[in-house]
Chain A
Amino acid sequence: MKIDHVSEDRALEERTKLLFDEGVSSLDPQTRSKLTQARYRALEELEASAPAGWRPRWIPACVLAVGVLAVVMLWRGQPAVSPETPAFDVAALSDLEIILGDGDLGMLQELEFYAWLDEQAEIVPTESAEGGVG
C-alpha cells in the first residue's frame, strides 16, 4: 500500500514536471519577447549601478594589495637579520676597536690586575658580613 503511494507520488512529480517544462518551452513568441525586454531593462540597472556600487568598494582593496606587495618585495630584497644579531655584532666591533686602537695599551697589560680587583670587590662584603656576625 505504501509502495503504491510512493510510486503514485513519483508519477505525479514526473507528470507535473513534464507539464511545466512543456509550458515553459511552448511559450509564445510575444511572451518570450516581453521577457527578453524585461531582462534588458533589468540589465540596464546593472550598468547604471556599477560606477557607484563597485568603485568605492574595490579601490581600497587594490591599494591595500599593492601596498602589501611593495612591503613584501622590499622585505625580500634585504638580507635576513635575526633580532639577536645586532647586539652580538656591536659587542664584537667594540672589542675589535679596543684591540686595534692605538690608545692606552697599558690598560691591557694590567688586565690581570683589574681581574684581581674585581674578585676582591666581590669577596670584601662577604668578609665584612662574617665579621659583623662574629
Chain B
Amino acid sequence: MTLAAFVQATCLPKEERTLESEIEIDAFLREVEKRAYRIAVASIRDADEAFDIVQDAMISLIRKYSGRPAKEWRPLFYRILKNRIRDWQRHGVVKGRVLSFFGGQEGETYDPVAQAPGPSTSNPDETVARGEAMAALEKALAEVPRRQREAFMLRNFEGLSVSETAIAMSCSEGSVKTHYFRAVHRLRESLGEHF
C-alpha cells in the first residue's frame, strides 16, 4: 500500500467508514443467516433457540471481528456459531439433569415434521417427502459425534475449505479430514444407501 493510499484509507471520515463497513457486513450476514439458522436447527433441534443462537453469533462477530478483513469473517462466524451451539448443548444437558432430578420434563417434544422447511411447491406429497427426508437427516446428524457433525456441516453444507473449517473448529486440517471422513461413513450407515 502506498503512503497516499494508506492516508486515504485511514483518514476517511468516521461516518463514511462506518457506512462502508455496515454495508459490507450486512451483505455478509444476509448471505449466511439462513444457512446458519438451518445448521443451528439441525444441531439443537429447537427453532426458537436457533434464532437466539444465530443472533448472538452475529452480534459477537460484529463486536469482536468487524475490524478484521472480510475474507476472515466466514470461518470466524462459524467458529462463534459452533461455540454457541456447544454452549447451548452443555446448558441443555445440565438443565435436563436438574429437571429429571426433580421429576419434571424439559419443554415440548421436538417435532421434526413441524420444524421441516415450509412449502415451496404446490405438490403436498413432495413437500411431505422432503420434510421427512430432512427430518431423517437431522435425526441422523444428531446421532453423529459433535466434532464429526461440525466438520460435515461446515464442509458439505457451507462449502468451507479444509483450512477454513480448521479455523472454525479450532483444530488442524488433518483432524478436519478425519472427522469429515468418519461423519460421512456414519451417515451412510445410518441413512442407508437409498437415501
Contacts and interface: CB of A to CB of B under 8 A. Distances in A.
A27 B54 CA distance: 15
A26 B118 contact: yes
Interface stretch (B2-10, B86-94, B102-110, B163-171): B2-10
Interface size class of A (residues with CB under 8 A): 35 or more
A73 B11 CA distance: 19
Nearest to A55: B14
Chain B interface secondary structure, helix, strand, loop or mixed?
helix
A32 B51 CA distance: 11
Interface stretch (A57-65, A101-109, A123-131): A57-65
B191 A35 contact: no
Interface of B: 3, 6-7, 10-11, 14, 17-18, 21-22, 25-26, 29-30, 33-35, 37-38, 47, 51, 54-55, 58-59, 61-63, 66-67, 116-120, 130, 133-134, 137, 156-157, 184-185, 187-188, 191, 193, 195
Given A34-B51, A35-B51, A42-B62, 18 more contacts: A12-B188, A16-B157, A17-B156, A17-B157, A19-B137, A20-B156, A22-B120, A22-B130, A27-B37, A27-B118, A38-B55, A41-B58, A42-B58, A43-B25, A43-B26, A50-B14, A54-B18, A65-B6
